[in-house]
Amino acid sequence: PPYRIGVIVGSIAASSINRRLARALMALAPAALECDFIEIDRLPLYDRDRDDDYPQEARELKRAIDEADGLLFVTPEYNRSIPGTLKNAIDWASRPYGENALSRKPVGIVGTSPGGIATAVGQQHLKSILAYCNAPLMNEIEAYVQYADGLVDDDDRVTVDSTREFLTDYMRSFDGFVRRVLTVVPQD
């Protein structure tokens, strides 16, 4: 330790409830996890004609993922899938062929929505994509957080006790998961 965790938010909206939740999760993380955002809002659209000459933003994304010991995705669900912005970032990260930055990278997935099933379908899509990208997925806890106004306050605190305890637990499990994967799965 410390283990470096890259936090990727699937929404680029400044008012994003998923970014709010991500900040709260970072605050609840065990001390051994050093969490930093990896931003995806400046990436151009993925274009395989550029595989031989990756744009700077995409090279930075790949470097940030390489340097992370694990990735935490916190993402909304768009039309029962993941936002195109997030898929775009994953496509950049996974290429050029043979240089997939996501391979063997331990991953946790969280999402929040005002809706009742709270990103469950979108997360299932994300799991399918990341499984194909050979990223070990934490499955022992799933986090589908229904968002109501004020759930996370302006100081990044979760205001509902049971939700705060659950999310603390989630980050504790994620810490254990990252350690186990790094012990068992060669990272090169």
Distance, in Å, from the CA atom of 125 to the CA atom of 84, rounded to the nearest integer, reads 12
Site residues (CB under 6 A) for ligand FNR, limited to 101-160: 113-115, 119
Should residue 80 be labelled a site residue for ligand FNR when binding is judged by CB under 6 A? yes
Nearer to ligand FNR, 11 or 100 (CB): 11
Should residue 17 be labelled a site residue for ligand FNR when binding is judged by CB under 6 A? yes
Q: Which of 31, 53, 79, 140 binds ligand FNR (CB under 6 A)?
A: 79
Should residue 11 be labelled a site residue for ligand FNR when binding is judged by CB under 6 A? yes
Should residue 16 be labelled a site residue for ligand FNR when binding is judged by CB under 6 A? yes
Distance, in Å, from the CA atom of 163 to the CA atom of 25, rounded to the nearest integer, reads 11
Distance, in Å, from the CA atom of 34 to the CA atom of 27, rounded to the nearest integer, reads 10
Nearer to ligand FNR, 3 or 147 (CB): 147
Q: Which of 3, 68, 69, 76 binds ligand FNR (CB under 6 A)?
A: 76
The one segment of 12-20, 47-55, 97-105, 165-173 that binds ligand FNR by CB under 6 A? 12-20
Cis peptide before 44 (omega within 30 of 0): no
The number of CA neighbours under 13 Å toward the Cβ of 151 is 22
The one segment of 10-18, 30-38, 52-60, 95-103 that binds ligand FNR by CB under 6 A? 10-18
- Four-CA torsion 169, 174, 177, 179, nearest 10 degrees: -110
Should residue 162 be labelled a site residue for ligand FNR when binding is judged by CB under 6 A? no
Query: Looking at residue 83, what DSSP letter applies?
Result: -
Residue 121 near residue 81, CB atoms below 8 Å: yes
Residue 104 near residue 133, CB atoms below 8 Å: no
Provide the binding-site residues for ligand FNR, judged by CB under 6 A. 11, 13, 16-18, 76-80, 113-115, 119
